[in-house]
Amino acid sequence: MSIHPKALVSPGARIGSRTTIGAFAIIEDDTVIGDDCHIEASAQIRAHTSLGAGCFIGSGALIGADPQFRGFDRSITSGVRIGERNTLREYVTVHRSIHQGEATVLGNENYLMAGSHVGHDTVIANENTIANNVLLAGHVAVGSHCFLGGGSVFHQFIRIGDYVMAQGNSGFSLDLPPYVIGAGVNEVAGINSVGLRRAGVSPEVRNQIKETFRKVYFGAQTLREILDEVDESNLASPLVAFFQFLRQESKKGLCIRTSRDFKSI
């Protein structure tokens, strides 16, 4: 463990082995920093935050600050829970939950680029790349293996499925199903075939996903009719996950298909 003499570390913080903390970093009371973490200069880890092993927190990052929520009761005890091997670069902000005893959550091996924001009560799963200046509002649910392009914006309470790719500077207030490319404002432009191929999904299953996408977004049947007739017991697991996402409760509804040409994505 290496703590710079000009860092401010509370005696109530639990710091793991081989962790380094830079100058002017602030680690508040009741925090847990796992083994092999690196906290750069001027980063702040607020109370009731936990970091798993192997995390990197960049200069100026602020983890566990109060939510941006009018009327928030600051006496509430809530926090941020971050898993292992996450990278949060310079000036990333992650806000704590608005609910007593609950937490904003990041899973494992996520990479958040400089200036990105994670709002209160958002849950991010594993192995996502969140590019510069992405804004995730409160209560957003992000799956795994997503790429959210720089400057993209996501409204509160929406869901983002696994392997979603969102175009830079796009904006969404509706759910993005698994495997789609999100573009523009609340539109989907197709399937993230490159991401699926890199994930080892077979050509046969990728074609089945594309056919299902066309059926949902271009077919004559309603979504309810499609869900009522599909037999998930005969489907590959990625397709089962797709239909399960569609069956789950949505506060916002699904993004629509685009009428524009996004072949360059």
Cα-based distances in Å from 114 to 37, 61, 111, 118, 223 = 18, 9, 10, 12, 38
Q: How confident is the model at residue 261 (pLDDT cuts 50, 70, 90)?
A: low
Catalytic (active site) residue 120: yes
Question: Could you read off the pLDDT of 198-237 as tens digits, one per residue?
Answer: 999 999 999 999 999 999 999 999 999 999 999 998 899 9
| pTM for the predicted model, two decimal places | 0.96
- Catalytic residue chosen out of the listed positions 79, 115, 117, 121: 121
Candidates 140, 130, 163, 126; CA nearest to 250 is: 140
- Catalytic residue chosen out of the listed positions 138, 143, 161, 184: 138
Question: Could you read off the pLDDT of 15-46 as tens digits, one per residue?
Answer: 999 999 999 999 999 999 999 999 999 999 99
Catalytic (active site) residue 121: yes
Q: Rounded to an integer, what distance in angstroms lies between the CA atom of residue 253 and that of residue 97?
A: 24
pLDDT of residue 234: 87
Question: Could you read off the pLDDT of 169-196 as tens digits, one per residue?
Answer: 999 999 999 999 999 999 999 999 999 9
- Provide the b/e sequence for 145-175 (b: ≥16 CB within 10 Å): bbbbbbbbbbbbbbbbbbbbbbbeebbbbbb
Does 89 have pLDDT greater than 70?
yes
Q: How confident is the model at residue 264 (pLDDT cuts 50, 70, 90)?
A: very low
Q: What mean pLDDT, rounded, does the chain reach?
A: 96
pLDDT of residue 258: 73
Q: Which domains are delineated in the chain?
A: 2-69+77-192 (2.160.10.10), 196-257 (no CATH)
Question: Could you read off the pLDDT of 93-104 as tens digits, one per residue?
Answer: 999 999 999 999
Cα-based distances in Å from 179 to 83, 188, 213 = 24, 10, 9
Catalytic (active site) residue 66: no
- Catalytic residue chosen out of the listed positions 48, 120, 139, 145: 120
Does 155 have pLDDT greater than 60?
yes
